[in-house]
Structure 1
Amino acid sequence: MPNTPPPSNKKGKGPANMMKPPKFNAYWIYGIIALTFLAIQYFTYQQNPKETSWHKVKVEMLRNHDIEKIEIVRNLGNVNVYIKDASLDKYPDLFSNSFDSPSKAGPHYFFTIGSIENFEQNLEKAQELMPEADRVAVKYVDHKDYFGDIIGFLFPILIILAIWFFVFKRMSKGAGGGAGGGNIFNVGKSKAKVFDKESDIKTNFKDVAGLAEAKQEVEEIVEFLKYPEKYTQLGGKIPKGALLVGPPGTGKTLLAKAVAGEAHVPFFSMSGSDFVEMFVGVGASRVRDLFKQAKEKSPCIIFIDEIDAIGRARGKNPNMGANDERENTLNQLLTEMDGFDTNSGVIILAATNRADILDRALMRAGRFDRQIHVELPDLNEREEIFNVHLRPLKLDDSVKSEFLAKQTPGFSGADIANVCNESALIAARKKKNVIEKQDFLDAVDRIIGGLEKKNKIISVNEKKTIAYHEAGHATISWLLEYAHPLVKVTIVPRGKALGAAWYLPEERSITTKEQLLDEMCSALGGRAAEELTFGKISTGAQNDLEKVTKQAMAMVSIFGMSDKVGNVSYYDSTGQSDYGFSKPYSEKTAELIDEEVKVMIESSYKRAKQILIDNKEGHEKVSQLLLEREVIFSEDLEAIFGKRDFGSSEVEETKILPTEEPTKDVRSEEENNSKAV
Structure 2
Amino acid sequence: MNDSKKNNKTNMPKFKFNFYWVYGAIFLLLIGFQFFNSSNLTSKEITKNKFFEVLNTNDVSKIVIVNKGVAQVYLNDDAYKKDSYKDLTKSAFFNKNSPAYEYNFGDLQNFEKQLAEAKLASDLTFDIKNIEQTSLLDQFFAFLPFILLIAIWLFFMRRMSGGGAGAGGGGQIFNIGKSKAKLFDNDTKVKTTFKDVAGLEGAKEEVQEIVDFLKSPEKYTSLGGKIPKGALLVGSPGTGKTLLAKAVAGEAGVPFFSLSGSDFVEMFVGVGASRVRDLFKQAAQKSPSIIFIDEIDAIGRARGKNSMTGGNDERENTLNQLLTEMDGFGTDTNVIVLAATNRADVLDKALMRAGRFDRQIFVDLPDINERQAIFEVHIKSLKLGDDVNIEFLAQQTPGFSGADIANMCNEAALIAARKNKKSIEHQDFLDAVDRIVGGLEKKNKVITPKEKKTIAYHEAGHATVSWMLEHAAPLVKVTIVPRGQSLGAAWYLPAERMIVQTEQMLDEMCATLGGRAAEKIIFNKISTGALSDLEKVTKQARAMVTVYGLNEEVGNITYYDSSGNDAFVKPYSEETASKIDKEISKMIEAQYIRAIELLENNKEKLTTLAELLLEKEVIFKDDLEKIFGKRPFIEEAPVKKEIKIATEDSEKKED
Shorter-chain TM-score above 0.5? yes
Shift of 1:319: 2.6
Shift of 1:360: 1.4
Q: 1:350 aligns with which of 339, 342, 346?
A: 339
Residue correspondence of structure 1 range 190-209 to structure 2 within 5 A: 190-209=179-198
Shift of 1:565: 2.7
Are the structure 2 counterparts of residues 607 and 279 from structure 1 closer, same or farther at C-alpha, using a change threshold of 3 Å?
A: farther
Distance (whole Å) between structure 1 residues aligned to residue 19 and residue 469 of structure 2: 79
Residue deviations 1:119-171 (CA, integer Å, cap 9, x gap): xxxxxxxxxxxxxxxxxxxxxxxxxxxxxxx99xx99x998995785155244
Deviates more, 1:529-538 or 1:511-520: 529-538
Look up the SS of the partner of 2:490 in the other structure. Answer: strand
Are the structure 2 counterparts of residues 426 and 373 from structure 1 closer, same or farther at C-alpha, using a change threshold of 3 Å?
A: same
Distance (whole Å) between structure 1 residues aligned to residue 494 and residue 443 of structure 2: 27
Shift of 1:331: 1.9
Q: 1:612 aligns with which of 571, 589, 599?
A: 599
How big is the alpha-carbon RMSD for the aligned residues of Structure 1 and Structure 2? 3.4
Query: 1:493 matched to which residue of 2?
Result: 482
Look up the SS of the partner of 2:609 in the other structure. Answer: helix
Distance (whole Å) between structure 2 residues aligned to residue 309 and residue 584 of structure 1: 32
Query: 1:428 matched to which residue of 2?
Result: 417
Are the structure 2 counterparts of residues 340 and 205 from structure 1 closer, same or farther at C-alpha, using a change threshold of 3 Å?
A: farther
Query: 2:46 matched to which residue of 1?
Result: none
Are the structure 2 counterparts of residues 614 and 205 from structure 1 closer, same or farther at C-alpha, using a change threshold of 3 Å?
A: same
Is 1:172 matched up with 2:162? yes
Look up the SS of the partner of 1:279 in the other structure. Answer: coil
Shift of 1:490: 0.5
Are the structure 2 counterparts of residues 670 and 175 from structure 1 closer, same or farther at C-alpha, using a change threshold of 3 Å?
A: farther
Deviates more, 1:471-480 or 1:231-240: 471-480
Distance (whole Å) between structure 2 residues aligned to residue 480 and residue 574 of structure 1: 37
Distance (whole Å) between structure 1 residues aligned to residue 570 and residue 249 of structure 2: 45
Are the structure 2 counterparts of residues 328 and 564 from structure 1 closer, same or farther at C-alpha, using a change threshold of 3 Å?
A: farther
Shift of 1:280: 3.0
Distance (whole Å) between structure 2 residues aligned to residue 240 and residue 608 of structure 1: 57
Distance (whole Å) between structure 1 residues aligned to residue 355 and residue 573 of structure 2: 39
Q: Does the CA contact (< 8 Å) of 1:172 and 1:186 recur in 2?
A: no
Q: 2:618 aligns with which of 631, 643, 657?
A: 631
Are the structure 2 counterparts of residues 434 and 221 from structure 1 closer, same or farther at C-alpha, using a change threshold of 3 Å?
A: same
Paired AA for residue 589 in structure 1 = T
Query: 1:62 matched to which residue of 2?
Result: none
Q: 2:450 aligns with which of 448, 451, 461?
A: 461
Distance (whole Å) between structure 2 residues aligned to residue 405 and residue 531 of structure 1: 37
Is 1:520 matched up with 2:509? yes
Distance (whole Å) between structure 1 residues aligned to residue 149 and residue 588 of structure 2: 67
Residue correspondence of structure 1 range 266-345 to structure 2 within 5 A: 266-339=255-328, 341=330, 343-345=332-334
Distance (whole Å) between structure 2 residues aligned to residue 254 and residue 374 of structure 1: 11
Shift of 1:589: 3.5
Look up the SS of the partner of 2:250 in the other structure. Answer: helix
Are the structure 2 counterparts of residues 581 and 520 from structure 1 closer, same or farther at C-alpha, using a change threshold of 3 Å?
A: same
Shift of 1:368: 0.6
Q: Does the CA contact (< 8 Å) of 1:175 and 1:191 recur in 2?
A: no
Query: 1:478 matched to which residue of 2?
Result: 467
Is 1:600 matched up with 2:587? yes
Residue deviations 1:208-244 (CA, integer Å, cap 9, x gap): 1111111111111111001000000000011100011
Kindly tell me the number of residue pairs found equivalent between the two proteins: 524
Residue correspondence of structure 1 range 633-652 to structure 2 within 5 A: 633-648=620-635
Look up the SS of the partner of 2:233 in the other structure. Answer: strand
Is 1:248 matched up with 2:223? no
Distance (whole Å) between structure 1 residues aligned to residue 22 and residue 206 of structure 2: 48
Distance (whole Å) between structure 1 residues aligned to residue 560 and residue 293 of structure 2: 29
Query: 2:641 matched to which residue of 1?
Result: 668
Q: 1:414 aligns with which of 399, 403, 425?
A: 403
Q: Does the CA contact (< 8 Å) of 1:399 and 1:437 recur in 2?
A: yes
Shift of 1:20: 9.1
Identity %: 69
Is 1:446 matched up with 2:435? yes
Shift of 1:600: 2.2
Are the structure 2 counterparts of residues 20 and 561 from structure 1 closer, same or farther at C-alpha, using a change threshold of 3 Å?
A: closer
Q: 1:233 aligns with which of 222, 225, 245?
A: 222
Q: 1:401 aligns with which of 390, 400, 415?
A: 390
Residue correspondence of structure 1 range 127-142 to structure 2 within 5 A: none
Shift of 1:23: 3.2
Query: 2:361 matched to which residue of 1?
Result: 372
Deviates more, 1:260-269 or 1:226-235: 260-269
Distance (whole Å) between structure 2 residues aligned to residue 551 and residue 175 of structure 1: 56
Distance (whole Å) between structure 2 residues aligned to residue 270 and residue 637 of structure 1: 54
Distance (whole Å) between structure 2 residues aligned to residue 580 and residue 533 of structure 1: 43
Deviates more, 1:300-309 or 1:605-614: 605-614
Query: 1:140 matched to which residue of 2?
Result: none
Distance (whole Å) between structure 1 residues aligned to residue 210 and residue 574 of structure 2: 50
Residue deviations 1:189-223 (CA, integer Å, cap 9, x gap): 22111112332310111111111111111111111
Q: Does the CA contact (< 8 Å) of 2:496 and 2:637 recur in 1?
A: no
Q: Does the CA contact (< 8 Å) of 1:448 and 1:667 recur in 2?
A: no
Is 1:541 matched up with 2:541? no
Q: Give TM-score, length-normalised by structure 1.
A: 0.71
Q: Does the CA contact (< 8 Å) of 2:438 and 2:643 recur in 1?
A: no
Are the structure 2 counterparts of residues 533 and 21 from structure 1 closer, same or farther at C-alpha, using a change threshold of 3 Å?
A: closer
Distance (whole Å) between structure 2 residues aligned to residue 295 and residue 498 of structure 1: 59
Are the structure 2 counterparts of residues 168 and 559 from structure 1 closer, same or farther at C-alpha, using a change threshold of 3 Å?
A: farther
Unaligned 5+ residue runs, structure 1?
A: 1-8, 33-102, 105-149, 652-665, 672-677
Are the structure 2 counterparts of residues 552 and 394 from structure 1 closer, same or farther at C-alpha, using a change threshold of 3 Å?
A: same
Shift of 1:341: 4.4
Paired AA for residue 598 in structure 1 = S
Residue correspondence of structure 1 range 650-661 to structure 2 within 5 A: none
Q: Does the CA contact (< 8 Å) of 1:307 and 1:352 recur in 2?
A: yes
Distance (whole Å) between structure 2 residues aligned to residue 191 and residue 342 of structure 1: 21
Query: 1:147 matched to which residue of 2?
Result: none
Query: 2:21 matched to which residue of 1?
Result: 22
Are the structure 2 counterparts of residues 588 and 325 from structure 1 closer, same or farther at C-alpha, using a change threshold of 3 Å?
A: farther
Shift of 1:396: 2.1
Paired AA for residue 620 in structure 2 = F
Q: 2:570 aligns with which of 562, 583, 591?
A: 583
Q: Does the CA contact (< 8 Å) of 1:500 and 1:668 recur in 2?
A: yes
Q: Does the CA contact (< 8 Å) of 1:452 and 1:492 recur in 2?
A: yes
Query: 1:211 matched to which residue of 2?
Result: 200
Query: 1:54 matched to which residue of 2?
Result: none
Paired AA for residue 172 in structure 1 = G
Q: Does the CA contact (< 8 Å) of 1:386 and 1:416 recur in 2?
A: yes
Q: Does the CA contact (< 8 Å) of 1:565 and 1:592 recur in 2?
A: yes
Distance (whole Å) between structure 2 residues aligned to residue 522 and residue 207 of structure 1: 40
Distance (whole Å) between structure 2 residues aligned to residue 19 and residue 313 of structure 1: 42
Look up the SS of the partner of 2:491 in the other structure. Answer: strand
Unaligned 5+ residue runs, structure 2?
A: 1-8, 32-105, 108-141, 645-655
Residue deviations 1:462-494 (CA, integer Å, cap 9, x gap): 111111111111111111111111000010001
Paired AA for residue 528 in structure 2 = T
Residue deviations 1:386-427 (CA, integer Å, cap 9, x gap): 111111111222223223222222221111112221222222
Query: 2:65 matched to which residue of 1?
Result: none
Q: Give TM-score, length-normalised by structure 2.
A: 0.74
